[in-house]
Amino acid sequence: MKILVCVKQVPDSWAEKKLSPAKVLDRESADAVLNDLDEYAVEEALRIVEANGGAEAGHTITLLSMGPERAQEALRKGLSMGADAALHIHDGALAGSDALSTSRVLAEAIKKEQPDLILTGTESTDARMSVIPSMISERLELPHLSFAGDVQVDISAGKVVTKRMTDEGVEAMEAPLPAIVTVIEKINEPRYPSFKGIMAAKKKPITQMSLADLGIAPNEVGTGGAWSEVKDFALAPARGAGVKVVDEGSAGSALVEFLAEKRLI
Amino acid sequence: MSKVFVFVDHTNGAVAKTASELLTLARSIGQAHAVIAGTSSDLDAAVPVLNKFGASSITLLESGEINNHPSSAIAIALADLAKSQGAKVILLPSTARGKEIAGRLAVRLESGIITDAIALTPELVSTQSVFGGSTLVHSQIVKGIPVITIRPNAIEPVEAAGSAAIEKVAVAAIITAKITSREPAVRGARPELSEANIIVSGGRGTDGNFAPIEELADALGGAVGASRAATDAGWYPHSHQVGQTGKTVSPALYVACGISGAIQHRAGMQTSKTIVVVNKDPEAPIFDIADFGVVGDLFAVAPQATAGIKARKG
Ligand SMILES: Cc1cc2nc3c(=O)[nH]c(=O)nc-3n(C[C@H](O)[C@H](O)[C@H](O)COP(=O)(O)OP(=O)(O)OC[C@H]3O[C@@H](n4cnc5c(N)ncnc54)[C@H](O)[C@@H]3O)c2cc1C
Ligand SMILES: Cc1cc2nc3c(=O)[nH]c(=O)nc-3n(C[C@H](O)[C@H](O)[C@H](O)COP(=O)(O)OP(=O)(O)OC[C@H]3O[C@@H](n4cnc5c(N)ncnc54)[C@H](O)[C@@H]3O)c2cc1C
């Protein structure tokens, strides 16, 4: 079985993020890391392989990322957790790509790779759109099992069974392979790369792919090919300094007065 | 006038609050056209609410099966309808389900998509509040039928009585991933977190005792939220987590009790209209965004506030 995991490189979630004068995310101003939520997808891939006879049984895990040069750092992290290989789609023309372009590029790469199972995170911590997996599913006409809090692969039956966990409750779902599964962060506890894993990752292959390799014209993606246009942006007005009281026995009542003044009660 | 499509989310015909918000917004742009997927009885239950919020017309995508699939069948039917009726724009709620459908629609219609908008002008310029509320972005879709998801609670619903023309379109539910069984979540009496007007949240400072949080929420008629420290400890269900890996909320009032205000928590609540904080530590970063902050013990302050609110209500 060939598992492909989509991972995105994002600014560290502890860092302040800002837009650059070119109206795109200023990716140089913050440390770049593997999207926290994608670590769960990498971990789940490792667990699926382990539960099905391991690498000896011929299962492989490939990471796929579209992003700038630095996306390699995120890929190395995934490799050091235990993935076997990585594909890095990197092309100057991709800068400023929107969700339409991103999903198209990733879908084309997936088509080339022909995995049996595609795992993704639920959302990126930078743009937070939470749409790329369903867009890939729509493009490739593959079943999408979203919000998976549990994933079981039945290789002999050629199907994947998940528990979809949302506010509405828990739904048992199944679909034939190949399929796309989006995992939630409750699914597992991602492992820390071991020293051995980090050393091994240095030797694992990261294959570079350009738009030409995927048969996509440069003017169809990036800022120029985008379906949407950022007109302008501004820092949100800072919240005015509020009232701060130290409780000396009556702050609860002062709070009620404040709420009443604001007509919140 | 051009048709502004509104995707109506509902549970067995009980219309989600987001529909009233989207219909209100749609009326400021053109004619509000409500689209609802489900059965005739779902439609019957929904019509009075859709009329109350000024829908000019309603289409039922009729299928007993359609809601058994999370999103693809609805997206196919909705895309066909938008094309045949010449929709000017399609509005959906920025919820898990709304976004799944929106992503698929954008692909099928080869249209641009904007998610989590908090405002939209009649010229279809949207405002997004990004990076945890620190930056406002104005953007516009330049190709296709714009697909835009609107953050719950961003628009104040305004009634406008009407009587919508109704049509029913039978649709096939094309199912690729199937649901084999279902355990619906037990719904308490409190409002749904992402829709709630008032939220009272507890963090590690509760030390596992959410009673004062729940009592204050109930006195205010609000929902209960939690920080990740509280959900990770198993003190409160994950579905109540607010923040980067939980819900993004923007209620009229957010009360944070025993929560320090880590950047990942703020990312989910910073756009709340009024923020109240109760925390023992005067240096806690959450005070930076508080409109009203109390340096104190939540176990003393919250019950006193609850009692005060109850006394006022009589
Ligand atoms: C603040 C901000 C707002 C934006 N708003 C919009 C908008 O409204 N409309 C629009 O079209 N574009 C928008 N963009 C551009 C958008 O971020 C990119 O197109 C992005 O690639 C897709 O969205 P996402 O990161 O939100 O992914 P999500 O849909 O949140 O990601 C879900 C999962 O998909 C996978 N994935 C996502 N991106 C990649 C990747 N590059 N490589 C590998 N796997 C990936 C990961 O597994 C991830 O966990 C915005 C960008 C920013 C910074
Ligand atoms: C990738 C990632 C994603 C994350 N996503 C989220 C998310 O979605 N949501 C989220 O909340 N966090 C998230 N976090 C975690 C976040 O970084 C913080 O660890 C978390 O928010 C802390 O929760 P807390 O404020 O309840 O706990 P703490 O930071 O421990 O704060 C507890 C506060 O309670 C106060 N306190 C203690 N006792 C009392 C008392 N009796 N009365 C009043 N005050 C008291 C203390 O002074 C302190 O300020 C995420 C982290 C990462 C790395």
pLDDT digits (tens, 9 = 90+) for B57-69: 999 999 888 777 7
pLDDT exceeds 80 at position B283: yes
pLDDT of residue A236: 81
Q: How confident is the model at residue A168 (pLDDT cuts 50, 70, 90)?
A: confident
What is the pLDDT averaged over residues B43-55? 97
Around B125, how many Cα atoms within 13 Å sit in the side-chain half-sphere? 9
A265 CB within 8 Å of a chain B CB: yes
Give percent of chain B with pLDDT exceeding 90.
Answer: 78
Interface test mutation site (partner A, options B294, B299, B312, max chain A beta carbons within 10 A): B294
Does the Cβ of B202 fall within 6 Å of ligand 2?
no
**Beta pairing, strands B223-226 & B198-202:** parallel
Give how far B58 is from chain A: nearest CA, Å. Answer: 25
C-beta of residue B160 within 8 angstroms of C-beta of residue B53: yes
Give percent of chain B with pLDDT exceeding 70.
Answer: 99
pLDDT exceeds 90 at position A82: yes
- For the CA of B260, the nearest atom of ligand 2: 49
Give me chain B's average pLDDT, please.
93
- Domain residue ranges of chain B, discontinuous segments joined by +: 3-170, 193-313
pLDDT of residue B62: 94
Chain A residues with CB under 8 Å of B176 CB are 141-144, 175
Chain B residues with CB under 8 Å of A126 CB are 131
Enter the tokens of residue A110: 């997936």
pLDDT exceeds 90 at position B128: yes
Fold of B3-170: Rossmann fold (3.40.50)
- DSSP state at residue B33: E
Which range (A175-184, B27-36, B93-102, B165-174) has the least confidence?
B165-174
Sign for the CA dihedral angle at A28, A30, A34, A40 comes to: negative
What is the pLDDT averaged over residues B216-242? 95
Give how far A20 is from chain B: nearest CA, Å. Answer: 12
Q: Kindly report the CA angle at B295 between B293 and B299, in degrees rounded to 5? A: 105
What is the pLDDT averaged over residues B77-96? 95
Q: Which of B104, B141, B297 sits opposite A134 (nearest CB)?
A: B104
Q: Describe the crossing of helices A36-51 and A71-81 by its angle, rounded to 10 degrees.
A: 30
CA B107/CA A100 separation, integer angstroms: 7
Enter the tokens of residue A257: 């007065």
CA A178/CA A137 separation, integer angstroms: 11
* Dihedrals phi, psi of A99, to nearest 5 degrees: -65, -35
pLDDT exceeds 70 at position B99: yes
pLDDT in tens, B154-176: 999 999 988 999 999 998 877 77
C-alpha A115, offset from chain centre: 18
Long-range contacts of A185-188, Cβ-Cβ distance < 8 Å, separation of 24 or more: A185/A36, A185/A37, A185/A40, A185/A122, A185/B245, A186/A149, A186/B238, A187/A40, A187/A43, A187/A44, A187/A148, A187/A149, A187/A150, A187/A151, A188/A40, A188/A43, A188/A44, A188/A47
Interface test mutation site (partner A, options B68, B120, B135, max chain A beta carbons within 10 A): B135
**Could you tell me which residue, A21 or B25, shows the higher pLDDT?**
B25
pLDDT exceeds 90 at position A238: no
Which amino acid type is present at position A73? E
Give how far B166 is from chain A: nearest CA, Å. Answer: 28
Give how far B165 is from chain A: nearest CA, Å. Answer: 31
Which range (A47-51, B154-158, B192-196) has the least confidence?
B192-196
Q: Which of B141, B292, B309 sits opposite A227 (nearest CB)?
A: B141
Does the Cβ of A80 fall within 6 Å of ligand 1?
no
Most confident of A20-24, B169-173, B298-302: B298-302
Taking 3-state DSSP, the helix, strand and coil percentages for chain A, each rounded to the nearest 5, stand at 35, 30, 40
Chain A residues with CB under 8 Å of B306 CB are 252
- DSSP state at residue A184: -
pLDDT exceeds 90 at position A102: yes
Does the Cβ of A200 fall within 6 Å of ligand 1?
no
Asked if the Cβ–Cβ distance from A169 to B184 is below 8 Å, we say yes
Give the Å distance between the CA of B277 and the centre of ligand 2: 13
CATH code for residues B193-313: 3.40.50.1220
**Torsion on CA atoms B66, B71, B73, B74, rounded to nearest 10:** 80
CA B192/CA B214 separation, integer angstroms: 14
pLDDT of residue B234: 94
pLDDT of residue B158: 97
DSSP-assigned letters across all residues of B43-99: HHHHHHHHHHTT-SEEEEEE-SSGGGSSSHHHHHHHHHHHHHHT-SEEEEESSHHHH
User: Which residue, by CA, sits nearest to atom 31 of ligand 2?
Assistant: B260
Chain B residues with CB under 8 Å of A35 CB are none
> What domains can you pick out in chain A, each with its CATH number?
2-225 (3.40.50.620)
The ipTM of this complex is 0.91
Q: CA gyration radius for chain B?
A: 21
pLDDT of residue B1: 63
pLDDT of residue A29: 67
pLDDT of residue B245: 83
What is the pLDDT averaged over residues A199-228? 94
CA B300/CA B273 separation, integer angstroms: 25
